[in-house]
Structure 1
């Protein structure tokens, strides 16, 4: 089966893993959060992966970089919601630390990808 360029990106693979973990973990959140915190953190995590995918399909370095920056912003939203979820005791410390580690990894990879596109623009 053909593999699109974004599917080969390690940053996208790690972001998919983070999103999957968030979906699994939020199943345990209180039902009262279904249309608020659960919905928001899930949408933000999917936005990270979607913007990486969309950015990889763009033709210019400037466009790619813009989508990677949007993905980074969505990733910071995810982190915000993870912190709140831990504070509300919806997430265990173990799950929070695992998710936080994935957020850090994705953030570093997104920054590297964005800098790489920036260098291409400068050439």
Structure 2
């Protein structure tokens, strides 16, 4: 078992979740049950799956939860790109968020590869 609160991937994904809430706060009200909800739920899923996986008894099980977290990251990336296509996010706001997301994906993948 791992102490999830000590994991850098959990800390960064938790901070990223806050970023998503801030970004989506300026979306159109009509998107409340669309992209806003999807992005927020997916962003909450990342640190949540890391925390849940850390409680597992085996590294194999933990790795499965890390895979789910990575999948949520790719879901977020897709939704951010769609939000950009629809004009809800401009490129200057999108690029820093995508860079943070890419860093979280890389860190999580690397950490997963250390679990044996």
State the TM-score, normalized to the length of structure 1.
Answer: 0.89
How does 1:1-123 map onto structure 2 within 5 Å? 5-117=3-115, 120=116
State the secondary structure of the residue aligned to 2:112: helix
> C-alpha displacement at 1:77, in angstroms?
0.3
Paired with 1:108 and 1:81, the residues of 2 have a C-alpha distance of: 19
Paired with 1:82 and 1:52, the residues of 2 have a C-alpha distance of: 21
Q: 1:29-73: per-residue Cα shift (whole Å, max 9, x none)? A: 000000011000100010111001111111101100000000000
Paired with 1:98 and 1:57, the residues of 2 have a C-alpha distance of: 31
> C-alpha displacement at 1:92, in angstroms?
2.1
> C-alpha displacement at 1:81, in angstroms?
0.6
Structure 1 unmatched ranges of 5 or more: none
> C-alpha displacement at 1:9, in angstroms?
0.8
Q: Where does structure 1 differ by over 6 angstroms across 4 or more consecutive aligned residues? A: none
Q: 1:5-46: per-residue Cα shift (whole Å, max 9, x none)? A: 111111111111111011011010000000011000100010
> C-alpha displacement at 1:99, in angstroms?
0.8
Structure 2 unmatched ranges of 5 or more: none
> How many residues of Structure 1 are paired with residues of Structure 2 in the alignment?
115
